Structure 1
Amino acid sequence: MPTPTRQDCADSADDDTRAAILFVVDDLGDSARPADLGAWIVVESTSTRISLLRPYDEPVDGRGMGVMDDHDSRVFELLDALPSSGEAGWMVTRSGPCALSLDPAPLSPAIVQLDGSAPPDAGSPSLSLLVTEWACNSGRDAAGRVRLISLDETDDTVSIRVGVEPEDGAQTCPSNPTTSFVVDLASPLGDREIVDGSLVTPRPLPTGSPVVID
């Protein structure tokens, strides 16, 4: 999810955007208008697509994947024929929690965790990570394609940003296993906090367990 470029609240958006939000429906034709419009921010508004974000008070693992989501999201699109009526109208096409993150293009995003089987050692100048590719990869890991985008070290924190080089060709979409990835530091970790630098608001990296899919 890219960084928001607009900061309009949904309840004070322009007339066309507000009308679309008020009358949007789901695929059954029921109203999909978000409650409490003043809490939602319009981050995209075109003649055919509207995107909203609502910040959470506290990050939550909204998808049960070890990713701490900090926003709720809604995407509405103008369709020529709604499934429920066959008439033109606005329908919600995506909704749910998300972690507001920086775009890693041309790399693909990934879930990054500390390796629970090799936890950080204050005396070690390296960190063992688990990287899970977001993109479809036919159930294979991302071995050889994990890339360190940035490593920023201060006296208090180690900020890590990782992406995955996309696989060539068409891929199917079973769950991807984790890929082990080691990051070398300029000096031993010490008591510094390890944070996810891919997030707009960096937070400590969670700890995960290696996943292997046969």
Structure 2
Amino acid sequence: MKRIIALLLLVSGCGTPLADAAEPTYTCHDRPIPLDVMSTARPATRLGPDGRAALKGHEVRRVEDLDKWRIVEETGERVALMKEFDEPEERGSTTVTHDFLVIERFGPPAADGRPSWHLRSRGGCSLRRDLGDLGVADLALDPAKPATGNSLHLLVTERDCASGQSAAGRIRVVGLEETDRDVRLVIGVERAPGDFHNCMGNPATPYTVELGRPLGDRVPLDAGLHPPREIMTP
């Protein structure tokens, strides 16, 4: 039987394991996405009249592979579609797993008295767990400090604008679940103090997580993403 050591670590102490927590919410470009959308949602080939009209809207590029897209939302005012890539794609310094298309009615009224359909947004994203008041972060193994004893050494890079400040003292372990095969981490960052911050880029902040036993051959995973992604050296 798998030995599972599960902890929920906050600023101090521990709590319930990830498996016992309420079903988490995930987002793509800050929009909530049901996790079962790729498996149970209708394919875009079954769009109704509003959806088909939206695909012919202004600035909307032709979608050739409708059978691979799933309907996240379809109303008379908004249509949202999502497609999962066959393999994660590297775009600059970011890895994305899904393509997300949003088309909405806005602007001056058309001949029918309603605003025309226009592209609102389209772009790649990864499904990230909504951490509430905490900001998300990119995780990497610290190449200067291999795992020793029960300590797992990470580099945590805050994604929110923080005027280039270190995240030291603001990093929070939202969830830590250990099995014989892997270690699943959910890590967030408290917002930097102050009302205004520029987006000059943030430094990677060293951070150590104490495990229930040595990492060994187990794989560290960023469970703040769906599906969880292996945490690797930069």
| Contact 2:50-2:74 within 8 A present in 1 as well | no
Deviations 1:47-92 (A, max 9, x none): 443322111111222x232x4321122222322149xxxx942332
| Contact 1:12-1:18 within 8 A present in 2 as well | no
* 2:156 corresponds to: 131
For the residues of structure 2 that align with 1:164 and 1:81, how far apart are their CA atoms?
42
Match of 1:101 among 121, 128, 139: 128
Deviations 1:7-37 (A, max 9, x none): 12112123212321x21332xxxx4232211
How has the CA–CA distance of structure 1 residues 46 and 112 changed in structure 2, closer, same or farther, with 3 Å as cutoff?
farther
**Equivalences for residues 131-210 of structure 1 within 5 A:** 131-167=156-192, 168-208=194-234
For the residues of structure 2 that align with 1:19 and 1:137, how far apart are their CA atoms?
41
Match of 1:64 among 92, 110, 114: 92
- Tell me the CA shift for residue 46 of structure 1: 4.2
Runs of 4+ in 1 over 4 A off after TM superposition: none
Gapped regions of structure 1 (runs ≥ 5): 209-214
Aligned length: 195
| Contact 1:196-1:204 within 8 A present in 2 as well | yes
Moved more, 67-76 or 147-156: 67-76
Q: Which amino acid is 2:124 matched to?
A: P
For the residues of structure 2 that align with 1:103 and 1:81, how far apart are their CA atoms?
35
* 2:11 corresponds to: none
How has the CA–CA distance of structure 1 residues 54 and 143 changed in structure 2, closer, same or farther, with 3 Å as cutoff?
same
For normalisation by structure 1, the TM-score amounts to 0.81
* 1:15 corresponds to: 49
For the residues of structure 2 that align with 1:10 and 1:45, how far apart are their CA atoms?
10
* 1:36 corresponds to: 65
For normalisation by structure 2, the TM-score amounts to 0.75
- Tell me the CA shift for residue 151 of structure 1: 0.3
| Contact 1:54-1:72 within 8 A present in 2 as well | yes
Q: Which amino acid is 2:225 matched to?
A: L
For the residues of structure 1 that align with 2:189 and 2:105, how far apart are their CA atoms?
33
**Structure with greater strand share of residues:** 2
Match of 1:24 among 57, 66, 72: 57
How has the CA–CA distance of structure 1 residues 101 and 35 changed in structure 2, closer, same or farther, with 3 Å as cutoff?
same
Q: Which amino acid is 2:92 matched to?
A: G
Q: Which amino acid is 1:200 matched to?
A: H
For the residues of structure 2 that align with 1:184 and 1:162, how far apart are their CA atoms?
13
Deviations 1:98-132 (A, max 9, x none): 112221112111111112222334xx211111111
- Tell me the CA shift for residue 165 of structure 1: 1.3
CA root-mean-square deviation: 2.2
Secondary structure, in 3 states, of the residue corresponding to 1:170?
coil
- Tell me the CA shift for residue 136 of structure 1: 1.3
